[in-house]
Each structure stands twice: as C-alpha cells, then as structure tokens.
Amino acid sequence: MCKTQTCKLCRSAMPGIPAPVLTIGLLIASNIFMTFAWYGHLKYKAAPLLVVILVSWGIAFFEYVLQVPANRIGHEHFSAAELKTIREEITLLVFAVFSVFYLK
C-alpha cells in the first residue's frame, strides 16, 4: 500500500501492477539503457568521440525517462536509501550480464 491515500501516480502509471514490482521493472529497464549509454560504445572504438557522446546522450535520455518515474513511484513504498540500494544491486547484475554477453 502507498504511504499516502492519494497516490494518483501509483494508480495511474500501470493499473494492476503493484508499485514495488513496477518500480523494480522500471529500474531494471533504465539500468539497461544506462549501461549501453556508458559502455556500449566500447565495441566501436573507431567511432568519433563526438558521435559517441551524442549517441550516448540519446540513449541516456531513455534511462532518465524510466528512472524518474521509477523513483517517484517507488518512493511511495521505499525510502530513498532503499531505492538507491535496489538501484545499485540492479546495476551490478545488469553490468555482469552485459559484460559477459555484450563485451565478452
């Protein structure tokens, strides 16, 4: 349950999906975008730096589009410290998978 009685964001974001599940799903998706924005370019070392920066910013935009709602929705159920801890755990998991399968 939300900490507040009027959590319109939780009710309207994705009806039927519990807010903690939605929060974690959004954090996972946002972290996948973040990881590609930060490290995906390492396979394209010949690409000009300016192009890599612009493409990374474009990818990072989607990370923020997912991250901000995840924090807003999640803060109704988790403290900021808990959200950050969940985010860091997801970061480690996503990067481990990314490192093995994408960076080899």
Q: Record the pTM.
A: 0.83
How many domains would you assign to the chain?
Answer: 1
CA distance 90 to 95: 8
- Give a yes or no: residue 64 inside a domain: yes
* Cβ count near 59 (within 10 Å): 18
- Has residue 90 got a pLDDT over 80? yes
In a 3-state reduction of DSSP, which class is residue 104?
coil
- Give a yes or no: residue 46 inside a domain: yes
94 neighbors 31 (Cβ within 8 angstroms): yes
Q: What is the pLDDT of residue 10?
A: 55
Buried b (16+ CB within 10 A) or exposed e, 66-95: bbebbbebbbbbbeeeebeebbeebeeebb
- Give a yes or no: residue 33 inside a domain: no
- Give a yes or no: residue 80 inside a domain: yes
Q: What is the pLDDT of residue 12?
A: 62
Model pLDDT for residues 21-41, shown as the tens digit of each residue: 999 999 999 999 999 999 999
Q: What is the pLDDT of residue 15?
A: 73
